């Protein structure tokens, strides 16, 4: 960018789309940190407009109402850098594409859009020769996208495993520490502003799956979309599952896992038992943490606030400074790297350990019948715990027949073999019910 004849560098015009939880904090930082940001970018950042849906909504005093507009389409064509904080697919995608086509750099926190249609944004940015940054789309404030996309790009990442949804981590933590049922903990998360009025995206794992898709794409230089990610939420988890996990030395976490296997890449999101000794077990409340295993770097762990206005705005501002510097000094951030194009495999190919809880008749020979089914399916049992539940005893004929609670832990087994084992075990007469089947990770 050319300096004016008096030596000053013209301001970069910044448009912010969305003035909600994150947008408000971005606007605040743009105002309060203006001098520092100008020094870091090499030019002042001039906020030229803030697009919203409704001009009448009450706003934080940090927001200059004269900058608000409902005409986002016009706003994006007048900016050097467009920051998209609306969320969802449309109109966010069309607005970003319009901004890029008119030569603006794009910064977004929109994981849903990137996971659904990232390649369209990448190729538009490539064609226009502009930056596309999205640090805030995964794990809020935690620098994670840049380390994977840039710092580790000389290494070979094998596995990414983490807690990337703060709402569900808060819910599971409350269930574990305060004995709450899931719906009570979700209600509490809503009251504290962690969960949305409609918490589906969080509790059903969609938010974490979008982040898993983004991380898998970056880590393995392969296009992985939301549809490629196996997804299970936490709605099936009960207070009983949580307390049983604790009795076996585990805690339940909603994990996002992306791994390189012999045949390709597998990305999955599901609740899992994590040993209490594992660092992820200690991630409390709404915090996020992500483990990365890379061939040369070894194990790395990233930890911090994965959500919230100010933490997320921190990541957005980092991207804004990077894009701004490129405008002033030249250069471009990384473009899409999908050269490896590894096959994206279903979860049936995943290898993991399991814990199966079941209620069985407590009489001679039951354990051997159950164990035989595991053996028939090639699933190796690592350990069995049995406790009797007198409260749930039933009478069979003349003799009392007690119900035993079994917890069977397996060695690593293929997903398909375990599923077949559970189906077969559930048909045995001596098995009253399968209480839960959970994967064990991080052991
Ligand atoms: P909010 O729902 O709080 O805010 C959305 C904003 O977008 C509102 O200001 C709304 O306007 C505006 N908006 C909605 N539709 C339109 C439209 N058609 N045209 C113009 N403006 C519109 O969302 P968040 O701030 O929570 O999230 C923003 C993005 O950041 C999302 O992609 C989200 O996934 C991501 N993110 C959020 C995090 C968080 O902790 N909240 C963490 C990490 C990422 P109005 O105010 O008038 O209703
Ligand atoms: N709803 C997300 C969470 C924050 O609870 O982590 C946005 O990514």
**Span 232-246, average pLDDT:** 95
pLDDT of residue 399: 47
**Span 210-232, average pLDDT:** 98
Helix (H, G, I), strand (E, B) or coil at 260: strand
Distance 195 CA to ligand 2 centre (A): 8
pLDDT of residue 196: 74
**Span 280-285, average pLDDT:** 95
Residue 341: pLDDT over 50: yes
Distance 199 CA to ligand 2 centre (A): 10
Residue 393: pLDDT over 90: no
| Residue 138 Cβ < 6 Å to ligand 1 | no
Summarize pLDDT for 56-72 with one digit per residue, the tens: 999 999 999 999 999 99
Residue 18: pLDDT over 90: yes
Superfamily of domain 12-140+310-329: NAD(P)-binding Rossmann-like Domain (3.40.50.720)
Residue 394: pLDDT over 90: no
Distance 286 CA to ligand 2 centre (A): 9
287-294 vs 399-401, strand pairing mode: unpaired
pLDDT of residue 402: 73
Question: With bands split at pLDDT 50, 70 and 90, how would you rate the model's confidence at 398?
Answer: very low
**Span 252-268, average pLDDT:** 97
Q: Measuring from atom 4 of ligand 2, which residue has the nearest CA?
A: 307
Summarize pLDDT for 29-55 with one digit per residue, the tens: 999 999 999 999 999 999 999 999 999
**Span 370-394, average pLDDT:** 85
Beta bridge partners of 153: none
Look at 402 and 320; give whichever has higher pLDDT: 320
Distance CA(440)–CA(431), nearest Å, equals 23
Summarize pLDDT for 169-204 with one digit per residue, the tens: 999 999 999 999 999 999 998 888 787 778 999 999
| Residue 169 Cβ < 6 Å to ligand 2 | no
Angle between helices 111-128 and 206-220 (to 10 degrees): 40
| Residue 110 Cβ < 6 Å to ligand 1 | yes
pLDDT of residue 194: 80
Question: With bands split at pLDDT 50, 70 and 90, how would you rate the model's confidence at 4?
Answer: low
From 202, 310, 313, give the residue whose CB has the most ligand 2 atoms within 8 Å, as the site to mutate. Answer: 202
Question: With bands split at pLDDT 50, 70 and 90, how would you rate the model's confidence at 163?
Answer: very high
Q: Measuring from atom 16 of ligand 1, which residue has the nearest CA?
A: 53
| Residue 55 Cβ < 6 Å to ligand 1 | no
Q: Measuring from atom 8 of ligand 2, which residue has the nearest CA?
A: 307
Alpha helices in 45-131 (DSSP H): 72-76, 92-101, 111-128
Look at 405 and 356; give whichever has higher pLDDT: 356
**Span 242-260, average pLDDT:** 96
Summarize pLDDT for 101-139 with one digit per residue, the tens: 999 999 999 999 999 999 999 999 999 999 999 999 999
CATH 3.20.20.390 fits 350-440, yes or no: no
> Residue 254 to residues 166, 237, 243, 271: CA-CA distances in angstroms?
10, 10, 16, 4
Task: Output the average pLDDT for the chain.
Answer: 94
Residue 397: pLDDT over 70: no
**Residue in this structure with the two tokens 């997903």, named with its chain if needed:** 415
Residues 132 and 100: beta-carbon distance below 8 Å: yes
Residue 390: pLDDT over 60: no
Q: To which H or E segment does residue 18 belong?
A: none
pLDDT of residue 2: 58
Q: Where are the domains of the chain?
A: 12-140+310-329, 145-306, 350-440
Residues 346 and 230: beta-carbon distance below 8 Å: yes
Distance CA(443)–CA(441), nearest Å, equals 6
The answer to whether 145-306 and 350-440 have equal CATH topology is no
pLDDT of residue 392: 54
| Residue 306 Cβ < 6 Å to ligand 2 | yes
Beta bridge partners of 106: 82, 132
Distance 110 CA to ligand 1 centre (A): 9
Q: Tell me the percentage of the chain whose pLDDT exceeds 90.
A: 89
Superfamily of domain 145-306: Dihydrodipicolinate Reductase; domain 2 (3.30.360.10)
pLDDT of residue 329: 96
Residues 340 and 220: beta-carbon distance below 8 Å: yes
Residue 12: pLDDT over 70: yes
| Cis, peptide link before residue 91, omega less than 30° from 0 | yes
Which positions are annotated as active-site residues? 211
Look at 205 and 7; give whichever has higher pLDDT: 205
**Span 138-162, average pLDDT:** 97
Summarize pLDDT for 406-436 with one digit per residue, the tens: 999 999 999 999 999 999 999 999 999 999 9
**Span 270-288, average pLDDT:** 96
Helix (H, G, I), strand (E, B) or coil at 47: strand
């Amino acid at each position: 960018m050319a300096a004016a004849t008096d030596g000053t560098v013209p301001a970069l015009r910044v448009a912010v789309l969305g003035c909600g939880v994150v947008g408000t904090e971005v606007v605040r930082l743009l105002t309060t940190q203006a001098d520092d940001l100008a020094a870091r970018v090499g030019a002042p950042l001039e906020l030229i407009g803030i697009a919203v849906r409704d001009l009448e909504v009450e706003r934080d005093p940090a927001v200059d109402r004269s900058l608000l507009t409902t005409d986002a389409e016009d706003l994006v064509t007048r900016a050097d850098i467009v920051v998209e904080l609306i969320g969802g697919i449309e109109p966010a995608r069309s607005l970003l594409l319009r901004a890029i086509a008119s030569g603006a750099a794009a910064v977004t926190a929109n994981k849903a859009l990137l996971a659904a249609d990232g390649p369209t944004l990448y190729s538009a940015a490539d064609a226009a020769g502009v930056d596309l940054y999205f640090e805030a789309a995964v794990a809020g404030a935690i620098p994670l996208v840049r380390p994977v996309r840039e710092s580790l790009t000389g290494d070979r990442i094998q596995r990414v495993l983490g807690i990337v949804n703060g709402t569900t981590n808060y819910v599971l933590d409350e269930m574990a520490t305060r004995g709450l049922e899931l719906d009570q903990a979700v209600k509490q998360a809503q009251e504290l502003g962690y969960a949305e009025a409609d918490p589906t995206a969080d509790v059903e794992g969609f938010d974490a799956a979008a982040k898993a898709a983004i991380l898998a794409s970056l880590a393995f230089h392969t296009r992985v979309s939301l549809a490629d990610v196996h997804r299970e939420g936490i709605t099936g988890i009960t207070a009983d599952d949580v307390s049983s996990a604790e009795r076996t030395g585990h805690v339940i976490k909603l994990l996002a896992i992306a791994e390189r296997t012999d045949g390709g890449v597998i990305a999955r999101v599901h609740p899992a038992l994590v040993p209490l000794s594992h660092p992820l077990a200690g991630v409390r409340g709404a915090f996020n943490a992500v483990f990365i295993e890379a061939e040369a770097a070894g194990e790395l762990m990233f930890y911090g606030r994965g959500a919230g206005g100010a933490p997320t705005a921190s990541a957005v501002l980092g991207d804004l400074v990077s894009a701004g510097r490129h405008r002033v000094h030249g250069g471009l951030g990384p473009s899409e790297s999908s050269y490896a194009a590894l096959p994206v495999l279903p979860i049936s190919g995943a290898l993991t350990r399991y814990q199966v809880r079941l209620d069985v008749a407590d009489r001679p020979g039951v354990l051997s019948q159950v164990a035989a089914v595991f053996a028939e399916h090639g699933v190796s049992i690592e350990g069995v715990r049995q406790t009797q539940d007198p409260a749930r005893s039933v009478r069979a004929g003349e003799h009392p027949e007690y119900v035993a609670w079994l917890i069977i832990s397996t060695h690593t087994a293929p997903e398909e073999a375990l599923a077949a084992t559970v189906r077969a075990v559930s048909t045995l007469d001596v098995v009253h019910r399968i209480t839960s089947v959970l994967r064990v990770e991080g052991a």
